[in-house]
Structure 1
């Protein structure tokens, strides 16, 4: 259709072609825009707007389209009952060639990519026949969602689950986990746990249980509005959570921002090509050597700025620290490490007081043990131990909230962990 018309490479070109389609076919304006966008190898008009807008800001409009890399995902199918055969090919636009996002060996590390084989630097094909047309479309869309995720985050799939489990033990996995996957940043060697449970499986009680787990294991959980990779159906589908160690994992806030603009890709809204099984599909780059995977330059997702905690944080943390140090001053393993935490926080407070209207007397009072008459605990009984553990948990929650992915966070976590271990063996 419209063979004499050039393939549009801009929003203006897509709109111009849409007017021709509307005039020739009588289609609605929205349908004509989607059809014109698909001619330009986008999924629909909204997808074209999103992808072209990303590059227009950095390049002239005439050159914007050249920064996109089409990826053809092909799956063949055969209906055993009827004997009918066919091919489904979905084309998505990426900001880099797939060979820059993942190696051929790493395809095996993801449930939606393991059956793919490289055919060209712009084409991946399923190794086995699917049982029907819909299954082939679902496989293509599932693979597309994973590539969209990798394109947005520059993370790569990994099989190293022990890297993301607390203490490397699968029994420490986040509660109510389902359809998990592991990802790593090849530049920083940091790891991320992605959890995609069904919506109906995570209620308020389960959310609270997962939050308690996160505080206990120094993990940070972030839920994206993007529907994720596994099953993005609106009502009965899954939801995606990013879970990472607060001080040594991949920062999760930039990830949420990166994926929330990814367009929905499902077999129910098929935007690919359906054809007979023969002749076999060959992409534009078929026959050319496939380059080895190379990391592409990108703007690094920086750690959160090490901003200074507010005065309210210092007041609450100071009360807990002073209480714990006073009660445990005969237990060197607790006292020494909590004093180290207090020294770091006091230094932060001194910097804050130079910019805010905080008197020197107030600064000293917040982390000064004023009640030295508190009787120290020599050997805690069960109620005393429970109270100390609860105060430790509160302190850990405060530190996690203010220092996740920030300067000094790792040092604070180590000192607090050492104090908690000392409390655990104090009999």
Structure 2
């Protein structure tokens, strides 16, 4: 196709195509949309891939596989409501290196958000590293180190969901709720403690999961005596636990005997909703390539494209360059033009003096954070042979002296600000740095007045 014909086709596209932005939910819907967006000279398979990518799939083939599975799924033939748990992994110890995405489907008596909110879930034992991608889908945010580790983390996450649904407890989420842990100070051999709240009464239950040494008679007596002395109640349910299922020894502690009894009854005899794979027990989930992106039935039904995990997409920031990317974490950016090493030394010397000077803790925190960030920027700006002598002690390791008064500290911050403005181009990372310096300045000024 000649250039003139291509330009003509593209310029006429808005006039000849008018269709809903709602994404399709079926294979047939993908085919219909592909026909609508297709342009003369474009293969139909290319249009199919475009639509599939809009929906969050790698290509049309992956969309076909996922949708065929979803369309064949019948809630009537299953027990309960499905929840899908996903984890990504990269193993750098294998040759060649390996990677993948694991998905575990479990069924619960109620929809997940009926017994734990999106906000609460991130505070639950074994769910801290997950995010709710859809009402029926929890996805691990960062990568784990191996396929076996991914399986283990997914099983533990499933067990935590089962624990909350069966017990009716919710994870403690506020500082006020977490203060209850202070009541367990001095409890002999407590370990791997998680705190849970009964939403009806507001009473707390602590799940204490030490190892087997707590079964020794002297330790049992010591723990029982401590519980009695502190007017608390203790049970040891016949249950696998959450921290290290079937290896740690779960105990429940609460000031409410009634709540403790009710929780213990709910847990005892509970069959685990999932088990860690072994020679006798194969993996009960699915294993896909690392680049795959699972889309749950509820996400699909919403017609809204799934969100990418942090650190897995490319972005743009005017005047800035990305210098660090890691799956599960926001990308790190710095100004695209480097600050001279001489200016780095001046800024580093000032910051080292400020960090040993008397000032409000919040101001110190800001200064310390930006000292570390500027060092990271410097190491990204200059590589290997480009680094001058004493490069490694620019921001840490010098011989700083104290700025004892507020005016001296404010003057130092002003000098740093001038160097940053003159040395770095205008961009978001520079604006963030200047904002941090301004906050530290305002705190110190406030103390001076």
TM-score, scaled relative to structure 2: 0.46
TM-score, scaled relative to structure 1: 0.48
